[in-house]
Amino acid sequence: MHQHEPTERQEEPTERQQIADSFEQLGPEAPTILPGWGASELLEHLLLRERHALALAGSLVPGPLTGFALQRRRRQLAELSFSERVQLLREGPGPLSPTGRIDQLTGDGELLIHHEDLRRAQSGWEPRRLSARRSADVWRTVRRMAPVMAHIPAQVTLVSPLGGLRLGSRWRDGSLRVHGDVMELLLWVSGRDEVARVRIHGDPVGLQALTEGRRGA
């Protein structure tokens, strides 16, 4: 009797599936690279962002009502076990969530970055080996997010195996070239200098501009 080969290629897990798997494998006490945040705090942030975005945004506006709404949402999440919270993350935001629309536009950029916040705090971590298709997806994310996240008063060119991306005005003095794989460039534009494996070349004016600029949300 002959065995038949699968007619369809097994699909690659989504970033949401992969980060949820990492949370489950590492547990709530696992460290992250974010100061003061372990896996439990990072998971809470992601769930608040996806399911209670208005309460999270309201925390930036002083006032008893906005603070009360955020604390109430946090208490509701705290009543769930860690596994239940991971399952909520797997399910993703509802169809009316503004966060879901943002993630569609950015190619799940927030999940990509925060997954690495978790992964790269673990002993012996190594960069992920991405498929060609996944690398192309991440490069598209870099192209969409970098102009918003990197504000450096110089000509900055990101150089990846999939191409280059120029940021800023060509009329600025000083230039920088930042070389790295696509995931490393995404982490660099988000300000994760301690873990982003990139190579930076630039003239003195450009290197000084790097210290004066900002990256990240």
User: Which pLDDT band, with edges at 50, 70 and 90, does 3 fall under?
Assistant: very low
Annotate 112-132 with b (16+ C-beta within 10 A) or e (fewer): bbbbbbbbbbeeeeebeebee
Look up residue 58 and give its DSSP letter.
H
User: Which pLDDT band, with edges at 50, 70 and 90, does 1 fall under?
Assistant: very low
Q: What residues contact residue 149 under an 8 Å CB cut-off, 6+ apart? A: 189, 190, 191, 215, 216, 217
Q: What's this model's pTM, rounded to 2 decimal places? A: 0.86
Q: What digits encode the pLDDT tens for the residues 93-133? A: 877 777 877 888 888 999 999 999 999 999 999 999 999 99
* In 92-181, alpha helices (H): 98-106, 109-119, 132-149
Residue 19 near residue 111, CB atoms below 8 Å: yes
